[in-house]
Structure 1
Amino acid sequence: MFSLIKLPPVFNVHQVPKAFQEDSIISGYRHPRSSATDCLLSLFQLTNETLNVWTHFLPTWYFLYKLLTVVCMQDVWTDAYTWPLLVYLLSCCVYPLASSCAHTFSTMSTRSRHICYFFDYGALSLYSLGSAIAYSAYVVPDAWVNSAFHVYYVPVAVINSVVSTTMACYSRLGFPPHSNPDRFAESKRPRLGKVLRILAFSYPYLFDNIPLFYRIFLCVGEGCTANEVNGLHVYHAFLAFLTGFLFATHLPERLAPGRFDLIGHSHQLFHVCGISGTHFQMQALEMDMGLRRSWLHDHAPAITFRGTVGAITLSSVISLGIICFFSYPLFYSTAQGEATRKASSASKKN
């Protein structure tokens, strides 16, 4: 059956527009104006995006399974203590799904490429907030519970998620609305765009992990919450650092351009390390949740709907608004260009 399906062709770097080119990747590019069908068919051939899709699409189902397990096996409707875990697991499902969709359909056009990655950035910001909500409920060291930092931790994380989405979207196009969305195109200022995206995702992560870093690296004596979970938190922190390192350096393909085009380039390794880190993070959160339940019930502030589901819903709505704000010029400029072409054609006929 597969022999009867004509798979779309692949191209070299000099055959695609600069906006679609990746640093040190020479071959394996899909057509920059692929149809949706071509994008889906390309998942079953080896291109430089194939493993980017599958390394996030398959883990989505694993995280969805974990989410459904919690929903079915715990009393999530009345037990508020489970709500932070639910919010976190939901964000774990959303970010790899958004990423796999972005990598699948980003070659339909320049406009679709921008919009796909806008949603990808919004999903990553949502995951950052989901992590912060879970950390606030289960991970904050004993000595910091009910402190001023603990009280304002989630509200600041909500603000960080909004700023993160805004900065990441800005890194591609600049601030709309304007009739020329290529004014600040990533293809024209790639280094600035890369730096802005690194900042957009690294600073929320560093803020979210302040209580964890203090707990496992700095705190000594009473109130440090030293338990067997700390080892898993260290694994997660190491993999998170490795994930950021791969994203920022484009290693190993930068050392040998063309050698890792299809298998082994930095973005694939970035996905694998990120998902592995999320797995260890999830295990650590579940263990902290179980081991600390009694103590947190007696000493920590009550978990509220507003501080969990309400916080992530607010962030989601605002992020969607930001994505629409940045996407509007792409549709507007396309419509304006088509109108200009029609008017020009009509004038030539007259």
Structure 2
Amino acid sequence: MGETSGNQELSESLRRSTAQSSRVFHARGFFISYFIITLSIEKGFSMMKLLAGVEQVNDEETKELNNSKTLITNNNNINNNNNKSSSDKEVTKPCLRKTTAHVRPKEPADSPIKGEITPEEEEKLRRLLPIEEAPEYLTHNPFILHGYRGYLTTKLCIESIFWWTNETINIWSHIFGWMLFLGLTAYDLCLLNIHAPFGDKIIVALLLVCFQACMILSSIYHTFSCRSERDYWCFLCYDLFGIALSLLAIYMSGVYYAFWCHKELQQFYLITVLLIFVIAMVLQIPSLEVNGNVKLLVFVGWAVYGVLPTLHWGIAMGGMENPIVNMLIPRVLGMYVISGCAFAIYMSKIPERFFPGSVDYIGSSHQWWHALVVLALYYWHNTGMLYVEYRMNHGCPTNMKL
């Protein structure tokens, strides 16, 4: 009897232990999922603020933050000197740098390289650096540990295009993207010259020129970002302008093709999209000192506004029962999927987050971002050409109610 009672108590104890372990497991899973989602949202919002020009920094607060964190780290290193390895200390520095990486200081530093340099000094500048020795403003990704360029002259920046660094793929991916869209410009204009009216040629040319500008400005940014911190922020502005320009081209080409047969609505949407873009760009002028939240609101409004003409067109065309809607809506969704994947990879810093130092030169998140951006722009170009071909073969619908 006692043995049976003991077995029952043991079974009950095991059941409670299993239930508790299950609750702990689910709780951990919940908190891990919550952390990942929160991190992605926070980083995405920070990127939108950077694009809108919201990010600002107080020099004294930044110095105080860095000094306090450095002091805490140093104290921990002293107290645990016997238990910590040198590899732990190496990780500390890049982790701290992540706190202020993409926040623009009020007065970015100029290049420390002054005047003429000797061949010996130039040779030293060619040496690639680990993250601990690289200029701090370049180490915004703490999982890329090697292959950094130090401060370079203009000549060496251009020369570094042909080096094997952690920026090589970033530079060349968009150089090849520029070549792709340059070739498409020549091909499309020759093809459209046979059939299409002048307005179609203009919109296709503008679309591809904006895509080329995005590619070139991105490559320039990655090439000259190591010249100085001041130049880094300057060329980053050009890079972001190229992104905004490509978004404008996507909007305007989509509106132009969707309302091809309805010129009044076409002009209305084209003017409003262009007007929002101009307002967003004017608000970036530093001398205006526009509140950062206003800038952010304009950019968010611009992004959300694109849904309106899409819904207007889809409903007016009769929904998915219309062949042209059935053909193009999935392609529009495909564009969002590609762009969303690119943004998610860029923000989450995958795969280097899980393999620090293993994809420094090839395979990092920023390189995947570049490849997917080229794919998204090329995909949208092909979508536009499909619409042009459909309109040439079928003309304008007679039952479209707007």
Match of 1:316 in 2: none
2:55 alignment counterpart? none
Q: Contact 1:56/1:97 (CA < 8 Å) preserved in 2?
A: yes
Contact 1:140 1:211 in 2 (8 A): no
Structure 1 residues 96 and 164, CA gap change in structure 2 (3 angstroms)? farther
Which residue number in structure 2 is paired with residue 161 of structure 1? 277
Quick check: 1:250 aligned with 2:349?
yes
The 8 Å contact of residues 125 and 162 in structure 1, kept in 2 or not, is answered as no
Distance 1:236 1:68, change over 3 A: same
Deviations 1:28-71 (A, max 9, x none): 1101x201222222222221111000110011011001111233
* Displacement of 1:176: 4.8
Corresponding residue number in structure 1 for 2:216 = 97
Residues 203 and 17 (structure 1), Cα distance of their counterparts in 2 relative to 1, 3 Å cut: farther
Work out which structure has the larger RCO, using CA pairs closer than 8 Å and 6 or more positions apart in sequence.
Answer: 1
Percent identity reads 19
Q: Return the alpha-carbon distance in structure 2 between the equivalents of residues 163 and 224 of structure 1.
A: 37
Q: 1:281-300 maps to which residues of 2 (within 5 A)? A: 281-293=380-392, 295-296=395-396
SS of alignment partner, residue 251 of structure 1: coil
2:336 pairs with one of 237, 244, 250: 237
Deviations 1:266-305 (A, max 9, x none): 11110001101111111111010110245349899xxxxx
1:129 maps to amino acid: L
Aligned to 2:231: 112
Is the CA contact (8 Å cut-off) linking 2:320 and 2:326 kept in structure 1?
no
Amino acid at match of 2:146: S
**Residues 286 and 97 (structure 1 numbering): CA distance in 2 closer, same or farther, change over 3 Å?**
same
Q: Secondary structure at the match of 1:48?
A: coil
Q: 1:201 and 1:217, CA in 2 relative to 1: closer, same or farther beyond 3 A? A: farther
Who is 1:82 aligned against?
201
Aligned-residue offset at 1:141: 9.7
Change over 3 Å in CA distance of 1:86–1:177 after alignment to 2: closer
The SS at the match of 1:288 is helix
Note closer, same or farther for the CA distance 1:217–1:269 as it changes in structure 2 (3 Å cut).
farther
Deviation at 1:151, TM superposition (A): 4.6
Q: Equivalences for 1:8-19 in 2 at 5 Å?
A: 8-19=126-137
Between structure 1 and structure 2, the one with the greater Rg is 2
Deviation, structure 1 residue 261: 1.7
* TM-score for the superposition, normalised by structure 1: 0.65
Q: 1:21 to 1:160 in 2, by over 3 A?
A: farther
Say whether the 8 Å CA contact 1:229–1:284 is kept in structure 2: yes
C-alpha contact 1:141 1:224 (8 A) present in aligned 2:
no
When residues 87 and 252 of structure 1 are mapped into structure 2, their CA distance, relative to the original with a 3 A threshold, is same
Compared CA separation, residues 225 and 237, structure 1 to 2 (3 A): same
Q: 1:206 to 1:50 in 2, by over 3 A?
A: farther
Q: Deviations over 1:292-348 (max 9, x none)?
A: 245349899xxxxxxxxxxxxxxxxxxxxxxxxxxxxxxxxxxxxxxxxxxxxxxxx
Displacement of 1:220? 3.0
d(CA) in 2 for partners of 1:88, 1:202:
22
Look up the match of 2:249: 130
User: For residue 252 of structure 2, what is the amino acid of its counterpart?
Assistant: I
Match of 1:275 among 374, 380, 386: 374
Distance in 1 (alpha carbons) for counterparts of 2:355 and 2:314 = 37
CA drift at 1:20: 1.7
In structure 2, relative to structure 1, the CA distance for the partners of 1:277 and 1:213 (3 Å cut) is farther
1:69 aligns with 2:187: yes
Which blocks of at least 5 consecutive residues in structure 2 are unaligned? Answer: 1-121
Give the alignment's Cα RMSD to 1 decimal: 3.7
The Cα offsets for residues 91-113 of structure 1, whole Å up to 9 and x where unpaired, read as: 11110111011111111111111
* Unmatched 5+ stretches in structure 1: 179-191, 301-350
Counterpart check, 1:208 vs 2:327:
no
Q: Structure 2: how far apart are the matches of 1:177 and 1:296?
A: 46
- After superposition, give the CA deviation of every residue in 1:142-166 in whole Å (9 maximum; x if it has no partner): 8xx5686x55322232233335546
**Contact 1:232-1:283 at 8 Å conserved across structures:** no
Q: What is the CA-CA distance between 1:89 and the residue it aligns to? A: 1.1
CA contact (8 A) 1:141 1:223 kept: no
Letter of the 2:273 counterpart? A
Number of residue-to-residue matches in the alignment: 271
Equivalent residue number for residue 71 of structure 2: none
